[in-house]
Amino acid sequence: MKNINKVISLNILILLLPVLFISHSQNIGKELDLLKEKTFSVSPGQLLEVKTDVGDIIIKTWAKNDVNVKIFGDDDAKRKMEFSFDQDEKGVKIFGEKLGGGFFTWFSNIDLKYEVIVPVDFDVDLKTSGGDLVAKELHGDLSFKTSGGDIYLKNVEGTLDGSTSGGDITVFEFKGNINAATSGGDIQIESDNGFINAATSGGDIFLKASEGAIKAETSGGDISLSYFGENKGVKLGTSGGDIDVLLPSDFNANVELKTSGGDITSNFSKNKMTTISKSKLIGEFNKGGSNFICKTSGGDIIVKEK
């Protein structure tokens, strides 16, 4: 009986897919209505928390000691979402929850967007199960988690813990420490004065960084790093791609470059190598120093001096 029910559910899903696709296509580009708006008086350095079952979240900043919240949505959002707000000594909390449950609710096509303006100095904790997360011109500790969208930040100072199951992570003009992980997308980061820990299972990693430890791992893509400043430690690894690194001429490092299925090329002029082969280079750049490790199972390694 259970197997029969599963077959029936699968057949229903197959029949519904064209309808769901058409419905989603019709929603693209349509204007959303303002569903909720609230303003809270806050202090710099407090915390904004937004937890929602669906929707994009966009964070902006201003000079006021207020948090302004606007929630935009379509007719489905009006009927199928419930919103709540809370404020305590820590800051402001916003919740968006789907009403009901079950098979058809999971496939409901809700178009929803949160626009929140906070003071420049403010911590932010965002979590959405189905949307993008965006923040600009912000100073604080950030936790961004989405199950089905992209993460985008620009001109941010502080710390970032960002993860997405199905999208890209893009960070420009960041000052501070970054942890970034995606299961199905690319990672692009430009940062100063902080460590970077970047991991993706199915994409490429592009890094431009200075004065910080670097760790980057991908199972199915390439890694590109342009580094400035003192070596604080670099470890790059990929199972299925190339590694391309650009370093300053005064970069001091203990070097370990290894590939199982490609070539190694380095034009670094001031080096002392103890092991040299097509698939392995071990030694020092300049005076030696923190580790510089690059390993790939299926690609080339290219290290260039600026």
Q: How confident is the model at residue 205 (pLDDT cuts 50, 70, 90)?
A: very high
- pLDDT (0 to 100) of residue 108: 60
SS (H, E, C) the chain: CHHHHHHHHHHHHHHHHHHHHHHHHHHCCCCCEEEEEEEEECCCCCEEEEEECCCEEEEEEECCCEEEEEEEECHHHHHHEEEEEEECCCEEEEEEEECCCCHHHHCCCCCEEEEEEEECECEEEEEECCCCEEEEEEEEEEEEEECCCCEEEEEEEEEEEEEECCCCEEEEEEEEEEEEEECCCCEEEEEECCCEEEEECCCCEEEEEECCCEEEEECCCCEEEEEECCCCCEEEEECCCCEEEEECCCCCEEEEEEECCCCEEECCCCEEEEEECCCEEEEEECCCCCEEEEEECCCCEEEEEC
- pLDDT (0 to 100) of residue 101: 58
Q: Is the pLDDT of residue 17 over 50?
A: no
- pLDDT (0 to 100) of residue 34: 98
Tell me the C-alpha distance between 89 and 254, whole Å.
Answer: 49
Give the mean model confidence (pLDDT) for residues 76-88.
96
Longest dimension (CA), the chain: 73
- The string of pLDDT tens digits covering residues 223-268 is 999 999 999 999 999 998 999 999 999 999 999 999 998 999 999 8
- State residue 56 phi and psi, 5-degree precision: -80, 150
- The string of pLDDT tens digits covering residues 116-163 is 999 999 999 999 998 999 999 999 999 999 998 999 999 999 999 999
| pTM (predicted TM-score) | 0.88
